[in-house]
Amino acid sequence: MYTFAFIFGPQSGFTHLVYVLPIVITQLTAEPKPYSVELPGSLLELEDDPGVDSDGPIFVDVTAQLIESEVLVRGSVKTQLKFACSRCIEFYSTTMKDSSFVRCFPLSEIKDPLDLGEDIRESIFLKFSSFPLCSPDCKGLCPVCKQNLNKSACACEVKQVDDRWGGLDGLDL
């Protein structure tokens, strides 16, 4: 009997946090078998990123099944994150969800145990916005005094920008 296990966790120094979801390969069939686990947000290893922080656990709901000579794992991954808004730099909380988490592993290449930690991190990171906004109508910061314009207006006089390229603004491309 072979044991197939998912190990979730970051490695830091001599400590390796391990979260095992055991799957016995010989018990897998063509019918999907469900597995659910709640992982700590520290799995994302966001400690060194000033623009994003974990705001709760990671919820993983997957099924595993045997398809010919491969193990198919699919389901969803969801977590709460706090992002710094790209305009006003205030932090806001949002849910990141990958409802199409799919990974396929050839039985001949499976190393026991299989580590899905990187796959989970990747699926969440791919959902990140390249320009996160607290709201679509965020006013941002005053370019002069840096006052958050969402909270209150300021009395700064904003100078006009060199308008030599202004003619291009009217082009409909």
Give the residues across from 97 on adjacent strands.
78
Compute CA 104 distance to the chain's CA centroid, rounded to the nearest angstrom. Answer: 20
Other beta carbons within 10 Å of 113 = 16
pLDDT score recorded for residue 12: 42
Look at residue 145 and tell me if it is in a domain. Answer: yes
Look at residue 113 and tell me if it is in a domain. Answer: yes
Look at residue 169 and tell me if it is in a domain. Answer: no
Look at residue 172 and tell me if it is in a domain. Answer: no
What is the spatial distance between Cα 48 and Cα 46, in angstroms, rounded to a whole number?
6
Please tell me the pTM assigned to this model: 0.74
Domain hosting 9: range is 3-160
Total domain count, the chain: 1
pLDDT score recorded for residue 72: 92
Q: Which residues contact 59 (CB under 8 A, 6 or more apart)?
A: 36, 38, 39, 76, 77, 78, 79
Q: What is the mean pLDDT, run by run of 10 residues, along the chain of 173 residues?
A: 45 46 72 88 90 93 90 94 96 96 87 74 93 95 93 85 79 81
Token digits of residue 93: 């909380």
Look at residue 170 and tell me if it is in a domain. Answer: no
What is the spatial distance between Cα 142 and Cα 126, in angstroms, rounded to a whole number?
31
Look at residue 171 and tell me if it is in a domain. Answer: no
Look at residue 147 and tell me if it is in a domain. Answer: yes
